[in-house]
Amino acid sequence: MLNEKKALRSRLLAERAEMSPGARDAASNALAGSARALVSAAKARTVACYVSMGSEPGTRPLLDALRADGVLVLLPVLLPDNDLDWAAYEGAEGLVPARLGLLEPSGPRLGPDAVVTADLVLLPGLAVDPATGVRLGRGGGSYDRVLARLAAAGSAARLVTLLFDTELVPGLPAEPHDRPVDAVVTPGRTVRFD
């Protein structure tokens, strides 16, 4: 199963890399609108998100839109052991370069458990199975820890993955620890697994 996931990750990352910057920007703006509508419908006041990097579906327009809406946006800060701490998003000017090419908020750290205060958690990923909601991440384990932390706290936060339209992939391999998401938002549609 690990080799199958590795091959799938390589293929999906290659497909993302082939997307033109113009197409990626258009997709990011459409994604922001759809995700913002989902946050509004959920009446979420605190949202955990992330700063997109490289060829990921862009989150920058979404981060600014949520902040303008008065939503508290928590962004991850990568710890040395690959767990995630959290800090509030206070605008693009407050983001600083970090290891692995990430951008992280420069404000006060709130601790790894801050994510359990979120009403909605927007997760990065490479694909989601449209029948089961199983998510394929990059394989680093950081968000597996986040999901385990949410489950241990009994969090009712909605789990949502942001993807490109082509990344709904039937038959994704799943392991026992994989927790399905509640929804997927793409530039073209929102799929709920209620």
143 annotated as belonging to a binding site for a ligand? yes
Looking at the chain, which runs of residues are DSSP E strands? 46-48, 72-78, 84-88, 95-97, 103-105, 120-123, 127-128, 135-136, 158-162, 183-185, 190-192
93 annotated as belonging to a binding site for a ligand? no
136 annotated as belonging to a binding site for a ligand? yes
- Taking the CB of residue 104, how many other CB atoms lie within 10 A of it? 21
Residue 184 identity (one-letter amino acid): V
141 annotated as belonging to a binding site for a ligand? yes
9 annotated as belonging to a binding site for a ligand? yes
43 annotated as belonging to a binding site for a ligand? no
139 annotated as belonging to a binding site for a ligand? yes
101 annotated as belonging to a binding site for a ligand? no
> CA-CA distance, 115 to 153, in Å (whole number)?
10
135 annotated as belonging to a binding site for a ligand? yes
7 annotated as belonging to a binding site for a ligand? yes
> CA-CA distance, 40 to 32, in Å (whole number)?
12
154 annotated as belonging to a binding site for a ligand? no
11 annotated as belonging to a binding site for a ligand? no
Residue keyed to tokens 């390589």:
10
151 annotated as belonging to a binding site for a ligand? no
Contact 175, 38 (CB under 8 A): no
179 annotated as belonging to a binding site for a ligand? no
Q: Where is the binding site for ATP, in residues?
A: 5-9, 135-143
Binding residues for substrate: 51, 56
Binding residue positions: 5-9, 51, 56, 135-143
